[in-house]
Structure 1
Amino acid sequence: MKSVFTALFVLALSTVSWSQASSPEQRIAVLSKTKWEWMADKQIDSLAILFDDRSRFVHMSGTWGKERELEIIESGSIHYKQADVHDVVVEVFGNTAIVWNRITLIAHVRGNEVSNEFTVTEVYQQRAGEWKMLDLTFSSVRDTHALEH
């Protein structure tokens, strides 16, 4: 029960930031940033609401669905400790949004702390006024990789 209240509280706080963002692109950028925080804090209830039931997650070691991603985060087999976001590009196409983040990810993976540079592609779809994540794909890049705006 406590986790449900925590998830609702976090969603309420996100809504305040969300409502202060004026454009759909800004709202999606805020949602993406919030998602990284939820992943770092293992906020499974909030992530379960955000991730579509058929969402896919593409990592360096494999591709899987929502339930496996939530299990990985909850168990800590991958702990997304910190995502330093260096650049964000958001494009909205009707009810679909694509986010490209250039990040340095510090994670704890199978007992080892690692730091990697990635461009992360996120795909969201708006349904009944709510955004759902459909895809999150990590692409390994050099630290000189740039996102064109």
Structure 2
Amino acid sequence: MKTKIIGLFVLLLCVQWSFAQNTDMEQEIIQLSKDKWQWMSDKNVDELSKLFHEKAEFVHMGGHWGTEQELGIIKSGGIWYKKADIHEVSVNIIDNTAILLNRIDLLAEVGGNEVTNPFEVTEVYIKQDDAWKLGALSFTRLMTPGDH
């Protein structure tokens, strides 16, 4: 009887530790995403270049491109991600890949015009050499009342 109770206790500890690990990892990804939005707002291409995988893909309303072009657009101010108001966030971790979904209102300056758009943003992170790298960033514009 003692061994069954001890075994059950150990099992419960292992399950709890497993959930705690996922929660810690999810929180790490959420914080990394928040940092990314701040770096984009600050046009901090030095930090972004460390975060973006060299083969990352970026999908916008006007097209898609790779890391080098995204960093160039941010540095030049072609797109200035001024402020991302985050309303919802979720993270799903699969092996060494984290998929983060953000529902945001994005205040940006595009081609000299200030615009605000509601987006569902998909961020895909890949863990390589104990560091998370952004592999994909995709903006899906959400319909709001009155849109057709």
TM-score interval (norm. to shorter)? 0.7 to 0.9
After TM superposition, where is structure 1 displaced by more than 2 Å over at least 4 residues in a row? none
Q: Measure how far apart 1:143 and its partner are.
A: 4.9
- Amino acid of the structure 2 residue aligned with 1:57: F
**Quick one: percent identity of the two aligned structures?**
51
Which ranges in structure 2 are unaligned for 5 or more consecutive residues? 1-22
Q: In the alignment, does 2:30 pair up with 1:29?
A: yes
Question: How many residues are aligned here?
Answer: 124
What whole-Å deviation, never above 9, does each CA across 1:56-107 have from its counterpart, x for those lacking one? 0000000000000000000001000000000000011110000000000000
Q: Which letter maps to 1:138?
A: F
Task: State the Cα distance separating 1:55 from its structure 2 match.
Answer: 0.2
Partner Cα separation in structure 2 for residue 142 and residue 95 of structure 1? 33
> RMSD of the TM alignment (CA)?
1.4
Describe the SS at the equivalent of 2:143: coil
Q: TM-score, normalised by structure 2?
A: 0.81
In structure 2, the residue matched to 1:71 is 72
How far apart are the structure 2 equivalents of 1:131 and 1:90?
Answer: 14
Unpaired runs of 5+ residues, structure 1, are 1-21, 145-149
Aligned to 1:48: 49
User: Who is 2:90 aligned against?
Assistant: 89
Alpha-carbon shift at residue 142 of structure 1 (Å): 3.0
Q: Tell me the alpha carbon deviations over residues 27-56 of structure 1, each in whole angstroms, 9 at most, x when there is no partner.
A: 000000100000000010000000000000
CA–CA distance in structure 2, aligned partners of residues 88 and 143 of structure 1: 19
Residues 1-149 of structure 1 aligned to structure 2 (within 5 Å): 23-143=24-144
2: distance between equivalents of 1:40 and 1:142?
A: 24
Question: Shift of residue 111 of structure 1?
Answer: 1.1
**Normalized against structure 1, the TM-score is what?**
0.81
